Amino acid sequence: MSEIALEARNLYKVFGKNPNTAVRRLKAGESRAAVADAGTAAVIDASFTVNRGEIFVIMGLSGSGKSTIIRMLNGLHDVTDGTVTVNGDPITGIPSSKLRDIRRDRISMVFQHFALLPHRSVAANVAYPLELKGVPKAERLAKAEEILSLVGLEGQGEKLPSELSGGMQQRVGIARALAADSDILLMDEAFSALDPLIRREMQEQLLELQQKLQKTIVFITHDLNEAMFLGDRIAVMRDGRIVQIGTPEDILMDPANDYVEQFVQDVDRARVLTAANVMERPRPVVPHTAGPRTALRQMRDAYMSATYVVGRDRQLVGVVTDRDAVKLVRNGATTLDSIIKPVLQSVREDDVLMNLFVPAVESPVPLAVTDADGRLVGVIPRVTLLAALGPGPGSTEEITLPLMPMPQAEIDAVLDDGWTADPADAPTTEEVR
Amino acid sequence: MDGFRIPIGSWIESGVDWIKQNLDGLLDVISFVVTFLVDGLTSLLLLPYFFVVIAIAALIAWLVRSWQLAIGTIISFTLIVAMGLWVPAMQTLALVLVAAVIAVLIAVPLGIWSARNATVRAVLKPVLDFMQTMPAFVYLIPAIVFFSIGVVPGLVATVIFALPPGVRLTELGIRGVDSETVEAGQAFGAKPGQILRGIQLPLAMPTILAGINQVIMLALSMAVIAGMAGADGLGKMVVEAISTVNIAKGVEAGLGVVLIAVFLDRVTAALGTLGQNPASLLAVIRRRGAQRQASAASASAPSTQAPVEEKELQNA
C-alpha cells in the first residue's frame, strides 16, 4: 500500500449553465469573476495529496470552496474537471454503483449539523453504515455498542439523538463514521456547530482517537486555531483556490502571501508555535570537561551571568554562574564539578509556547530546550518568547538587548563627587529648612 | 370581435366523446371496481348494529388520540343516529374513505416522483393548479358522461378535486428533509431506494400525513357535489333540501357532514403526530409495557432505569 491515501489532482468545480466552458476559460487564465457569466467557480485547480494516517485540514472562510472540495472527495459532488483517487483507484468518472461501494467501504463522513436520523435510536444510527453493508442485526448492534464506548457514550444506545446534547450528538456522528470501518474519514466542519468549550474537548478527543486508530482524516474548518491544533498539514483556501499547503508552523512562520499572513494574525501563536520554532542557539555552552577559567571567559564574552554545562553528546548537565566561577578561579580549582547546579527549568522541543511562560519566569537564565534524549538543543530568553507572540515572520530573528545598567563603581564615583549629594543627608534639604 | 371564437369547449367535448367511444371497456372496469368498493364498505358499515360501528370509531379515536376524543366521537355519532341520518351518513363516510384512499394512492407516488425530478415537478405544478381551481361541478359533467348517474362520477370528481394537496405536501415534505441527512445516507453508500425508504419518507411523514388529512377534508367537502351526481348519502339530502327549500332537512344533513368531518380530521391529524399524544391508548399501552420491563430489569439488577425509559417512549 502506498503512503498516499487520497489524491486530488487539478480539481475544478463550477456550478451553473456552462461549467465546461468556464473551466476552459479558467485554465486559459481568466479570473473567477471573469467567468461568472458561465457559472460560479467554487473550486479552481485544487491539487493535494493526503498521506495515510495524517490529519489534513482544509481551511478557508465560508464561500472559499472547502465544503465543495470535501464533497468531491467522496463523489457527493461530481467534479467538473480533474481527478480524485482513493488508494490509487479513481473515483471520478466511475458508475454510481461502484462509487457507492467505495463510499460504503473506504470513505466515511462526519457532518457539520450531525445529520443523524432523528427517528432511529443512537445505536441504530451508529449501526446504519453496517446495515447498508448488509451486516446482520445482532452483530451490527454489538459493534455499535463497542464503538459507542470508544467515543465515551456507553449505555446511551437506546436513546434518541434528540435526547443528547450537541457534543454528544456529534460523538454519535463520529461513532457512525467509525462504524463504517473505513480508512478515510471526511469531517465537514464537524465541530463548528458546538460551543467553544465542547469544541475544545472534542478536538482533544479526536486527537486521542486518532492516536489509537490512525485513520486518514480530511478535516474542514473555518477556524484557524482549530486547523492549527488538529492539522498535521493545512491547506488554506481562498476564493476557490488553494493558496498554501504546509504544516501549521510553515503557515504561521512563512505565510505564502498577504492573505494568509492576515489570516494568521489572529492565531493564538502561543498554542501553535513550539519551543523548537523560536529557540536560539545556546551561547555560551561550556563542556563539562572545561575549567572555571574557560567558563568565565566565555560568559564574559557573551555578556552572560551564567552558562549551561553540557556533557558528552551535548547532554544537559547543569548551570554555573559567573560569581561561583570567579570564586573557583581565586581558589585555583580546575574543574567545575563543585559549582554545577542542577537545571531547575528546562522544556522539550515540542512544547508549545503556552507552556513556556511559567518556566521562563522561574528560570534565572534563558530557558534550556532539550530534545527527546535530554540533549541541549537551544535556549529561549524571555525577550525571544515575547517577540515570538507578535505577528510577522521576522520577529524572532533580531533581538534588541535590554539596556545594560552602567557598572556600579562608575555610578558610585559620580555620586561621591561634589556635583550632587546623596538624598538621605543632602545639605539642600537643610538649607531649605 | 364578431366571429372570433376559439371553440375550446367543443374540442374537449369531442375528446370526451372519443374517450367514451374508444375506452369504454376501461371506464366499465373503473366503474365496476369503484361501485364494488363503495357498496362493499357501505354495507359493511351498515351491517352490524349501529353501536358496534360507534364503538369501533370511539376505540380508534382513543387509540390514536385520547379518551376525550373517544367520548366526543360517541356523542356526535349518537347525534347522527338521533337525527335519523345513520344510513346516509355511513354512505357518505364510505364514499369519502374510498375516494381518499384512491386519492392518496395516486397522490403520494406522484409527490415522491415530482420531488425527485425537476421536469415532473415543472409539468405537474400547472396541472395541479388547474385541478384545484377548476370549479368542482365542472368535473361532474364528463364524469356523468363516462359513468352515468350514481356514485362513480361523484367519486371520480372527488378524487380529482382532493388530489392536489396530497401531491403538494408529499413533495414539500420530501424536499424539506434536511439535505445533510440525505447526504449522510449517500455518503455511507445507500442506494436511492434505501434513502427514500430509510430517510426521506420517515422524515417527511408528518408533512405527508398533513397532506392526507387535507385530502380527506377536501373529499368530504366534495360529498355534497357527489350528491348532485346522484350518489346516495348526506350530499344527496342536502341537494334535495335545496330543491325543496327544506330548512330542517338541510341543516340536519349539513350537521351530519360537519360531525363526520370533525371525527375524520381529529383522527387523521393525530395519526400525523402518532406517539406524541401521551393520552392515547397506544402510548399508555407502551408505557405499561416499558414499566413492566423496567421492573423486571430492576428486579434482576437494581437500577434507576425506569424513568429514563419512560421519558424515551414519550419522545419516541
Contact flag B188-A129 (C-beta cutoff 8 Å): yes
Residue A156, min C-alpha distance to chain B (Å):
11
Give the per-residue pLDDT at A404. 67
Residue of A nearest to B184 (CA): A115
Contact flag B184-A160 (C-beta cutoff 8 Å): no
Residue of B nearest to A77 (CA): B183
Are the beta carbons of B203 and A120 closer than 8 angstroms?
A: no
**Greater model confidence, B4 or B259:** B259
* Distance, CA of B66 to CA of B58 (rounded, Å): 10
Indicate the pLDDT class of residue A122, thresholds 50, 70 and 90: very high
Which residues are registered as beta bridge partners of A309?
A286, A318
Contact flag A100-B190 (C-beta cutoff 8 Å): yes
Indicate the pLDDT class of residue B235, thresholds 50, 70 and 90: confident
What radius of gyration, in Å, describes the C-alpha atoms of chain B?
A: 24
Residue B198, min C-alpha distance to chain A (Å):
9
**Greater model confidence, A393 or A185:** A185
**Percentage of residues in chain B with pLDDT exceeding 70?**
92
**What is the tens place of the pLDDT at every residue in A173-225?**
999 999 988 899 999 998 988 888 888 889 999 999 999 889 999 999 998 88
Contact flag B181-A100 (C-beta cutoff 8 Å): no
Query: Can you read off the three cell numbers belonging to residue A60?
Result: 478557508
Are the beta carbons of A108 and A70 closer than 8 angstroms?
A: no
Residue of A nearest to B204 (CA): A119
Q: Which of A109, A115, A160 sits opposite B312 (nearest CB)?
A: A160
Are the beta carbons of A419 and A318 closer than 8 angstroms?
A: no
Residue among B204, B205, B200 nearest B272 (CA): B205
pLDDT at B305 over 60: no
Query: Can you read off the three cell numbers belonging to residue A370?
Result: 532539550
Interface size between A and B, measured as CB pairs under 8 A: 67
C-alpha distance from residue A407 to each of A307, A321, A347, A404, A418 (Å) = 21, 18, 33, 9, 20
**What is the tens place of the pLDDT at every residue in B98-149?**
889 999 999 999 999 998 888 999 999 999 988 888 887 888 888 888 877 7
Residue of A nearest to B187 (CA): A103
Using a CB-CB distance cutoff of 8 angstroms, which residues of chain A are in contact with residue B192? none
C-alpha distance from residue B294 to each of A151, A156, A384, B102, B278 (Å) = 27, 16, 64, 43, 19
Using a CB-CB distance cutoff of 8 angstroms, which residues of chain A are in contact with residue B310? none
**What is the tens place of the pLDDT at every residue in A69-86?**
999 998 888 899 999 999
Which of A120-129, A404-413, B62-71, B189-198 shows the lowest mean pLDDT across its residues? A404-413
Query: Can you read off the three cell numbers belonging to residue B256?
Result: 351530519
DSSP A206-225: HHHHHHHH--EEEEEES-HH
C-alpha distance from residue A408 to each of A402, A405, A415, B160 (Å) = 17, 8, 11, 106
Predicted complex ipTM exceeds 0.85: no
Contact flag A129-B189 (C-beta cutoff 8 Å): yes
Residue A181, min C-alpha distance to chain B (Å):
11
Residue B191, min C-alpha distance to chain A (Å):
8
Residue B103, min C-alpha distance to chain A (Å):
27
Contact flag A115-B178 (C-beta cutoff 8 Å): yes
Q: Which of A109, A116, A160 sits opposite B187 (nearest CB)?
A: A109
Residue of B nearest to A186 (CA): B187
Contact flag B181-A104 (C-beta cutoff 8 Å): no
Are the beta carbons of A161 and A172 closer than 8 angstroms?
A: yes
Residue among A262, B163, A241 nearest A251 (CA): A262
Residue among A206, A188, A216 nearest B179 (CA): A188
Residues in contact with A257: Cβ distance below 8 Å, sequence separation at least 6, in sequence order: A243, A244
Using a CB-CB distance cutoff of 8 angstroms, which residues of chain A are in contact with residue B189? 100-105, 129, 132-133
Residues in contact with A130: Cβ distance below 8 Å, sequence separation at least 6, in sequence order: A139, A140, A143, A144, A179, A180
Contact flag B189-A76 (C-beta cutoff 8 Å): no
Strand A233-238 relative to strand A241-246, pairing: antiparallel
Q: Which of B186, B191, B194 sits opposite A76 (nearest CB)?
A: B186
- Give the three-class secondary structure for A196: helix
Contact flag A117-B199 (C-beta cutoff 8 Å): yes
